Amino acid sequence: MKVEERLNRIIEEEGAIYFVLVDPENVNYEGLEKIKDYSDAILIGGSSGICELDYVVKEVKKITKLPTILFPGNVDNISKYADAILYMSLFNSLNPYWIITAPALGALKILKYNLEPIPTAYLCIEPAKKTSVGFVGDIKEIPQNKPKITAMYCLSAKFFGFRWAYLEAGSGAEYPINNETIKMAKKVSGINIIVGGGIKKPEIAYEKVLAGADGIVTGTLVEKDPKMIEKVYDAIKKAGREKKW
């Protein structure tokens, strides 16, 4: 089964997906042991790309059979050992490089490596500007008190044929994306909505799923407090059973 098909099935049967993000620069391999039973897929990537990506993907694959999905920070963040790749356009960048040049430069390599591309509109929302992705991605930050702007970008993504939008507050963000933004993005676009950045507690993950998130990403948590992974997983699945979408 294709990775995207598998993810869609999880959304259908369990209401929401839990993605654990592994930043190849800061891998907590002991913490990763937990992910075997308490996540649905592993995202691998980061903004700066200084790492032995192939090595990290192979190590993750030794630990788990869950799908490995690249979350590339740039064109050199592509490994043939992964199963799939979030094929992303940073929709609200001011720099065309991140909107289309980087995705185009990576396309032939993705084809050659037979990686499954998952078409994803990547949107950097307040407070992302204060995090690495905001700096690297030259973003035109979307304010959280204007949920309609995020919804508009998600609808545009849908019209372009994207099946996923990733609402990013930035790794280690001071606060996550608010529920109103998630709710309107899902309602207006109907595409799969991934939410990440600054999610540090199970109850926060829970409310984001109830608001309409189809997928939750946590990265910093697995590095700093891997014991929480199980609790976040349970909260996501509980909300997934309860949500009305």
Binding region for ligand 1GP (CB under 6 A): 21, 168, 171-173, 196-199, 217-221
Nearer residue to ligand 1GP within complex by CB, 106 or 137: 137
Nearer residue to ligand 1GP within complex by CB, 196 or 202: 196
Residue closest to ligand 1GP, measured at CB: 196
Element (H, E) at 208: helix 202-211
Residue 21 CB, nearest approach to ligand 1GP (Å): 5
Residue 197 CB, nearest approach to ligand 1GP (Å): 4
Nearer residue to ligand 1GP within complex by CB, 126 or 168: 168
Those residues whose C-beta lies under 8 Å from the C-beta of residue 42, and which sit 6 or more positions away, are 19, 20, 21, 22, 35, 60, 64, 66, 67, 68, 69
Residue 120 CB, nearest approach to ligand 1GP (Å): 12
Q: In terms of Cα–Cα distance, which of 200, 201, 195, 199 is closest to 182?
A: 195
Residue 218 CB, nearest approach to ligand 1GP (Å): 4
Residue 221 CB, nearest approach to ligand 1GP (Å): 6
CA-CA-CA-CA dihedral for 200, 183, 236, 205, to nearest 10: 10
219 marked ligand binding residue: yes
167 marked ligand binding residue: yes
Nearer residue to ligand 1GP within complex by CB, 161 or 218: 218
190 marked ligand binding residue: no
Query: Given the DSSP bridges, would you call strands 84-90 and 215-218 parallel, antiparallel or unpaired?
Result: unpaired
171 marked ligand binding residue: yes
Nearer residue to ligand 1GP within complex by CB, 35 or 217: 217
Q: Tell me if 189 sits within 8 A of 157, measured CB to CB.
A: yes
Exposed e or buried b per residue across 179-216, where buried means at least 16 C-beta atoms within 10 angstroms of its C-beta: bbbbbbbbebbebbbbbbbbbbbbebbbbbbbbbbbbb
101 marked ligand binding residue: no
Quote the crossing angle between the two packed helices 228-242 and 3-14, to the nearest 10°: 70
Residues contributing to the annotated binding site for Mg(2+): 23, 47
* Residues of each annotated binding site: 23, 47, 166-172, 197-198, 219-220
Binding residues for sn-glycerol 1-phosphate: 166-172, 197-198, 219-220
